[in-house]
Amino acid sequence: MAVKGLLKAFSNDSAGGPASVASSEIQAKRLEVLDDFEQAGINWLWATDAEGRFAYLSEKAAENLNMPISEILNQPFTSLFENDPDNPDEKSDRPLHYQLSRRSKLHDLVVRRVPLTLGKEDRPTWWMISAHPKFDDAGNFQGYRGNAKDVTIEYQRKLEDSRLAEFDSLTGLANRHRMDNQLNGILGAFKAAGRSCAIMMLDLDRFKQVNDTMGHPAGDELLQQVATRLRKIVGDRGEIGRLGGDEFQIILPDIDDRGKLGEIAEKIVKIISQPYPIDDKSAVIGTSVGIAVAPYDGVEKDELVRSSDLALYSAKNSGRGQFRFYSADLKDEEEERRLLVEDLRHALDNDQLELHYQPVVRTDDHMVVGFEGLMRWVHPERGAVSPGVFIPIAEELNLINQLGEWALRKACTDALQWPHSVRIAVNVSAVQFANSGFPEIVMNALATSGLAPERLELELTESVFMGDSESIDNTFKILKELGVRLALDDFGTGYSSLSYLRSAPFDKIKVDKSFVDSCTQKDKNSAKIIAAIVSLSEALGMETTVEGVEAFDQFTLVCSKGARYIQGWIYSKALRIEEIEEKLGSGEFRIEPDGPDLYRPDRRTVFRRIGAIHEDHRYEVVMRDLSKTGARFEGMLGVPVGTQLVLDLGGGQLVICTVLRAKEAMVATEFETPLVSDGAGGLCTRHRVSPYDLAAAGMPLAALPPGNYPLTQSATDQKSKPKFMQVAI
């Protein structure tokens, strides 16, 4: 379209027409200047009619869009352009069509071309537009008159700069700055609406070992693979950020169901812990997850992040490879861990650690054929400290080699007193195995004790395959030449177990306890997996030991699947050396299986005070047993079967239940909604009473006692007489 069209569209811009009649020379000059202006591409001119359709557009602008003007005219402006939601400078959240409908002035507004417009070849395009609305003498809107220019190159550069400022350059995940802003914004908006938001904090276990043994490029590649796995797990449910190093954060808006959160966290732990292929090698790491949920665990960013940090420290210090929900009774785990590190050093220096031995029993005749040496630490003040807690600390402090050598020497020396047919198994960590001097340590332990090599069994997990494959193969070769036996522990929990069996000279496979725990459940495939592992072992000429058998239903099932060796509580827990020597006095050690008929993983014996609420009365009772589906408590007399109660388990956890049995002051109940795992071996409710709800009922948030949200009714509001008698326990 010629500039004449522009003049026609722009004619009579001032009220009443031109102030004076321009000479033909001035008109011609004006046309020439406008034409030069458009052809130079400094700025383009555009106009719309009252309905918002293009009435005019510079030819250069049409060329920029790769469209003929004939296809642009009469098209709505908003069919070609829209707001860019990623614009780092755009403060208004009002859509472009809203601003045009309000007939607002537009000043240096960046808009982007609507993708795939009119089916033409499309490319990313951004324009900066300015315009003012035009009205006639009667005040009727006539459309917009404006100018525009292409700012694609500058804008893309600005977007990239903005992206670099908010996203991690290595993984493409959000960085700490963006995650902090996101969390602040979400919590601020959700506080006003009374909505919930969960955050997960996680870091990687053994990541430093990958960097040290495989190099920093391998560590970078691993972090990228971790980011990819996290994206697949979380999907569009939330945003993932890398805060730095091996520390990650996940924001999950509108999720407060701890059942769902636990499932996500458990999936993260399992998927992140699978081997990573890097440069024809395999890296194995783990992760721990801490979870906090607003508004229950904090309503401000710093408060919520601290809660999730405390939950993460609890997960790591409880053995790693786990998740934890925040609870108000969590201590400062950082300080706890510092004290534990000091105590571990002292325990090693003062010979406070012990080895206990759990029997491995042959199912045919219930004879003990071996023992597994298990480290035990009984702290003078803390009591028993789990190996899952102090072994990872020993690895981080480079004490694991010292600890492992002590255990190996002690086990070989103790086993020398047993019958020659009884073997001893010792766990070897990946850090120990990676030590180039490990084979020499094994040789020295055998030589010092005089134990026959074939009686020593080294239990390894898949994590030993991380690192230099040539060094790993050499270590395997030396150990087999020594004549010691090798067992693959926790089999079936990783992706690459079959390749390990093919490449490493194992004598035994140990079936992981997780399969045994669920083998009697109808909706699980664990029984089939156990049968497949046993068959695979036999085909490869290996033995199989099934771990973690506790009840007779499990025992019967695994035996029917071909299990010949069992290690579990149905036979015995780990024993002190004195107990073993006493039982081996006759020269043989036979154990009859003994345990419950059925495995009940969800029933836990407890002893703690809770509240039992009936109508508008609260009774203080003592809970004795807790399972996913019910609880047994003591402290109420005269409660009929079928009575509905609400149990206050603390921390805003209210459970509706029905009385099934009542004998004297003991009451057994069934829950309306089952509990879920709290990640710490305990149980919790899916949902909690929101402090927002309590505040709406008249209680200020500041008055909320930590860890126990009281009822919305106070004692002074109770009007009816209590129907049951409370008994002091």
Higher per-residue pLDDT: 521 or 452? 452
- pLDDT, residue 116, reads 58
Q: Which of 311, 290, 298, 269 is nearest to 197 (CA)?
A: 298
pLDDT above 80 (res 117): no
- Kindly report, residue by residue over 149-200, the tens digit of the pLDDT: 988 888 888 877 766 678 898 999 999 988 998 898 888 888 777 788 999 9
- pLDDT, residue 555, reads 93
Exposure string over 178-189, b if 16+ CB within 10 A, otherwise e: bbbebbeebbee
Taking CA atoms, 88 is separated from 35, 92, 162, 198, 245, in Å, by: 35, 11, 7, 26, 27
Higher per-residue pLDDT: 323 or 26? 323
d(CA 545, CA 534): 9
- Kindly report, residue by residue over 698-712, the tens digit of the pLDDT: 544 443 434 434 444
- pLDDT, residue 115, reads 72
- pLDDT, residue 510, reads 92
- Count of CB atoms within 10 A of residue 59's CB? 16
Asked whether the beta carbons of 539 and 498 are under 8 A apart, the reply is no
What token pair was written down for 675? Answer: 């509990």
Taking CA atoms, 18 is separated from 14, 165, 523, in Å, by: 7, 52, 86
Show the domains of the chain with their CATH numbers.
3-158 (3.30.450.20), 169-330 (3.30.70.270), 337-586 (3.20.20.450), 604-726 (2.40.10)
Q: How many residues does the chain have?
A: 729
User: What is the band of 729 on the pLDDT scale with cuts at 50, 70, 90?
Assistant: confident
Nearest-5° angle of CA 302, CA 306, CA 308?
120
The 8-class DSSP code of residue 575 comes to B
- Kindly report, residue by residue over 710-727, the tens digit of the pLDDT: 444 444 444 578 888 888
What amino acid is encoded at 578 in this protein?
Answer: E
Higher per-residue pLDDT: 585 or 285? 285
- pLDDT, residue 364, reads 92
User: What is the band of 690 on the pLDDT scale with cuts at 50, 70, 90?
Assistant: low
> Which residues, including other chains, have CB under 8 Å from residue 465's CB and lie 6 or more apart?
275, 282, 284, 472, 496, 500, 504
- At 67, give phi and psi (nearest 5°): -140, 145
- pLDDT, residue 166, reads 81
- Kindly report, residue by residue over 241-269, the tens digit of the pLDDT: 999 999 999 999 999 999 999 999 999 99
d(CA 95, CA 196): 28
Question: What does the CA dihedral 59, 61, 65, 71 come to, rounded to 10 degrees?
Answer: -50
Burial class (CB in 10 A: 0-12, 13-18, 19+), 688: buried
- pLDDT, residue 15, reads 46
Q: Which of 467, 543, 474 is nearest to 504 (CA)?
A: 474
d(CA 167, CA 182): 12
pLDDT above 70 (res 687): yes
Burial class (CB in 10 A: 0-12, 13-18, 19+), 99: middle
The structure tokens 């026609």 sit at 8
d(CA 424, CA 358): 10
Task: State the chain's maximal CA–CA distance in angstroms.
Answer: 129
Which of 57-71, 153-167, 283-297 has the least mean pLDDT?
A: 153-167
The 8-class DSSP code of residue 367 comes to B
- Kindly report, residue by residue over 223-240, the tens digit of the pLDDT: 999 999 999 999 999 999
d(CA 608, CA 634): 10
Higher per-residue pLDDT: 271 or 214? 271
d(CA 105, CA 98): 12
pLDDT above 90 (res 315): no
pLDDT above 50 (res 558): yes
d(CA 543, CA 545): 7
